């Protein structure tokens, strides 16, 4: 039972990280109509941007988080304006291939600037809290609380601002939104800004949970996509469910399967959902 | 002087052999993406399956991994294609009905699972320590002769090329292109879309398995690290896009050009201190990434675009 609870906590932490990644990926998928293969590497870059803030000014990583998110949003918009914008008239698959090479560009630049080694924000070990035999690391509390706050902020944005409403409209039906006068280019910018910012936050939290490495984001990309698909493409609230399902299932799977095969769990769940319910658990785009 | 000459001949043969192996991979991808419009981002997976299968079939018996069975190399090639093909059938049965972007995501997952499997199943593959001593063809009769191996690779290239060209002109190839251009139209014309897609996916993956087998026999040693997506998958995609999707000759030209660029930038690695070697590889990958974006933006049809079908062929 203790083992189960312990794994559940790891799962919720992983789920929080995946959720933040999946919300952005789901929005981009729903609004710009392509699977953004650079999303994982946007997480990586965000994590390293926070590292720059931490190492240059000595600020804590919590203070650095907003800077990383702004940086992440800027990078996402940059690639949109330089590359994706000019490819919008082509078929979405070309955008997908393009994002695949964006991923490679981000990863090699990360490695060039910050080197191929593992890094951490702060050296040293923080003692875990022990609650009824279950150990909880302070970082895990930060990740969970931080994710919940970001998700609430995102929810309020989506629900009450004009930009948020326009995004929901575009995600539901692009043509209908356009003839209703929604400025699609502006919605695209908002989508990238929010996707990039949340990806950067996810990257910072992932680095807190494990450590910084140029391939850290690429390794969770499949799990992020799995969360998007399980939650329903273009359904940001579904992405929360998807992220949590994938995160918890991945960690709990170690009770039954070899831990080495953890990454396969996300894949298996994704395939099951694709076959049984292609629109996702919460009905998304077909 | 003689040594210099010998050195450049050795380099040239190795270079052309490598290009030949990539050509086989790119032709397999061209069948899936260029002709049918299926996105396979899991090339590394099928490539690795082919390499490991052929290695296990042909190496001398070992305590560290399954086999080896000391079979002739061509048995290894056939087994590589069969294993890659069976895997593709299993993957395809699940994913082939799905939209092609789902296929792209799913195939990345397949490649990752294949890599995890090869890395963790020590009894089968010797895990991270890899499989050494993979023989060259005809090693017993002619010795380890690089020209012989190059000839075999070229033979495979010609065989695959002719088969795919024949298929492209055949009704089968026309149906594939019809599916790529207009799925509903092809279905309305009474074509069994799922079956044709599955066939193209499986045959393409078998060709990638063959390429993997050739790679294993060229290098002589394989380990899971050789099959990371960036080298086995991404570069093949770059070759196809640069050369011209849908055109088999373009695919071959793309393999040659991109490998020339890649090797051309490789000399930098040899002149910088070893501690910067990983950084140089990052620069090379960066260049390739930028190159793809430039091609997609300015010449999306590639160097040799697909020709419109000729009524006589």
Tens of pLDDT, residues A216-240? 999 999 999 999 999 988 888 899 9
Q: Does A279 touch chain B (CB under 8 A)?
A: no
Chain A CB within 8 Å of residue B98 CB: yes
Percent of chain A with pLDDT over 90: 63
| A-chain residues near B90 (CB < 8 A) | none
Contact B285, A108 (CB under 8 A): yes
Q: Is the dihedral of CA A140, A146, A152, A157 positive or negative?
A: negative
Q: Once rounded to an integer, what is the mean pLDDT over residues B210-225?
A: 92
Tokens 């850290």 correspond to what residue? A216
| Residue A13 predicted with pLDDT over 90 | yes
Dist. CA B216–CA A101, nearest whole Å: 27
Residue A164 has pLDDT above 70, yes or no: yes
pLDDT of B308 above 80: no
Lowest mean pLDDT among A65-74, A167-176, A205-214, B265-274: B265-274
Q: Which H/E stretch holds residue A187?
A: helix A184-209
Model pLDDT, residue B84: 96
- For the residues A154-178, what does the mean pLDDT come to? 90
CA separation, residue A54 to residues A2, A119, A144, A247 (Å): 36, 12, 21, 28
Element (H, E) at B243: helix B235-243
User: What's the average model confidence in pLDDT over B6-32?
Assistant: 92
Which positions ≥6 away from B58 have C-beta within 8 Å?
A: B68, B69, B70, B71, B72, B73, B75, B76, B134, B135, B217
pLDDT digits (tens, 9 = 90+) for A250-283: 999 999 888 888 888 998 888 888 878 766 666 6
| pLDDT for the residue A281 | 65
CB interface of B with A, residues 224-243, below 8 Å: 230, 234, 237-238, 241
Residues 6-65 of B with CB under 8 A from A: 37, 39, 41
pLDDT surpassing 60 at residue B73: yes
Query: For residue B86, what pLDDT is reported?
Result: 96
| SS3 per-residue string spanning B263-275 | HHHHHHHHHCCHH
Which residues are within 8 A (CB) of B8 and not within 5 positions of it... i.e. 6 or more apart? none
pLDDT above 70 (res A33)? yes
For the record, the structure tokens of A122 come out as 């702060």
Secondary structure element (H or E) that encloses residue A111, with its range = helix A92-114
Give B280→chain A minimum CA distance, Å.
Answer: 8
**What SS3 class is residue A196?**
helix
Q: Which of A2-6, A13-17, B269-273 has the lowest mean pLDDT?
A: B269-273
Check residues A266 and B140 and name the one with the higher pLDDT: A266
Spell B270-285 as b/e; 16+ CB within 10 A means b. Answer: eeeeeeeeebbbbbbb
B50 Cβ partners below 8 Å, 6+ apart? B80, B81, B83, B84, B208, B209, B210, B211, B212, B213, B215, B216
Q: What is the least distance, in Å, from the CA of A29 to any CA of chain B? A: 10
The residue extents of the domains of chain B are 13-228
Does position B272 have pLDDT exceeding 80, yes or no?
no
Tell me whether residues B289 and A108 touch, CB distance under 8 A. yes
- Asked if residue A271 lies in contact with residue A279, where contact means CB atoms within 8 angstroms, the answer is no
State yes or no: pLDDT of B268 exceeds 80: no
pLDDT at B56: 93
Q: What is the reported pLDDT for B309?
A: 65
For chain B, percent of residues with pLDDT exceeding 70:
94
């Amino acid at each position: 039972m203790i083992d189960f609870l312990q794994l559940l906590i790891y799962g919720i932490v992983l789920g929080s990280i995946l959720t933040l990644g999946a919300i952005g990926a789901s929005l981009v998928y729903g609004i710009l109509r392509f699977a953004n293969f650079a999303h994982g590497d946007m997480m990586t870059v965000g994590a390293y941007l926070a590292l720059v803030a931490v190492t240059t000014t000595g600020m804590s990583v919590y203070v650095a988080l907003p800077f990383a998110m702004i940086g992440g949003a800027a990078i996402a918009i940059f690639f949109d304006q330089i590359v994706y914008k000019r490819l919008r008239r082509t078929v979405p698959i070309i955008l997908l291939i393009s994002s695949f090479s964006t991923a490679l560009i981000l990863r090699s630049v990360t490695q060039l600037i910050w080197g191929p080694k593992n890094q951490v924000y702060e050296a040293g070990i923080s003692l875990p809290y022990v609650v009824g035999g279950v150990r909880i690391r302070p970082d895990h509390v930060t990740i969970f609380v931080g994710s919940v706050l970001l998700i609430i902020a995102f929810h309020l944005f989506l629900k009450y601002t004009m930009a948020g409403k326009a995004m929901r409209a575009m995600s539901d039906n692009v043509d209908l939104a356009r003839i209703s006068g929604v400025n699609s280019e502006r919605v695209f910018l908002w989508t990238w800004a929010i996707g990039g910012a949340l990806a950067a936050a996810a990257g910072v939290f992932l680095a807190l949970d494990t450590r910084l490495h140029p391939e850290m984001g690429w390794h969770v990309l499949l799990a992020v996509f799995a969360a998007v698909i399980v939650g329903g493409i273009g359904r940001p609230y579904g992405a929360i469910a998807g992220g949590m399902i994938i995160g918890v299932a991945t960690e709990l799977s170690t009770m039954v399967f070899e831990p080495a095969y953890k990454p396969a769990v996300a894949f298996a769940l994704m395939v099951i959902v694709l076959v049984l319910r292609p629109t996702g658990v919460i009905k998304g785009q077909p | 002087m003689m040594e210099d000459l010998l050195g450049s001949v050795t380099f040239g043969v190795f270079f052309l052999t490598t290009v030949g192996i990539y050509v086989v991979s790119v032709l397999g991808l061209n069948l899936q993406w260029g002709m049918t419009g299926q996105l396979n981002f899991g090339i590394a997976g099928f490539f690795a399956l082919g390499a490991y299968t052929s290695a296990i079939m042909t190496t001398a018996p070992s305590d560290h991994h399954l086999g080896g069975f000391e079979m002739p190399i061509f048995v290894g090639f056939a087994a590589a294609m069969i294993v890659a093909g069976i895997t593709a059938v299993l993957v395809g049965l699940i994913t082939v009905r799905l939209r092609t972007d789902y296929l792209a995501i799913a195939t990345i997952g397949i490649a990752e699972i294949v890599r995890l499997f090869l890395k963790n199943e020590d009894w089968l593959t010797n895990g991270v320590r890899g499989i050494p001593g993979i023989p060259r063809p005809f090693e017993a009769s002619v010795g380890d002769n690089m020209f012989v191996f190059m000839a075999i690779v070229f033979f495979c290239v010609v065989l695959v090329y002719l088969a795919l060209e024949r298929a492209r002109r055949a009704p089968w190839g026309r149906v594939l292109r019809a599916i790529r251009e207009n799925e509903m139209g092809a279905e309305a014309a009474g074509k069994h879309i799922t079956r044709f897609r599955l066939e193209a996916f499986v045959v393409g993956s078998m060709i990638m398995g063959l390429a993997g087998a050739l790679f294993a026999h060229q290098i002589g040693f394989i380990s899971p690290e050789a099959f990371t997506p960036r080298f086995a998958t991404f570069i093949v995609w770059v070759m196809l896009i640069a050369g011209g999707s849908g055109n088999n000759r373009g695919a071959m030209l793309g393999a040659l050009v991109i490998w020339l660029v890649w090797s051309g930038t490789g000399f930098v690695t040899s002149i910088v201190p070893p501690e910067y070697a990983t950084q140089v590889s990052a620069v090379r990958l960066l260049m390739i990434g930028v190159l793809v974006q430039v091609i997609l933006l300015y010449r999306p049809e590639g160097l040799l675009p697909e020709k419109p079908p000729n009524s006589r062929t």
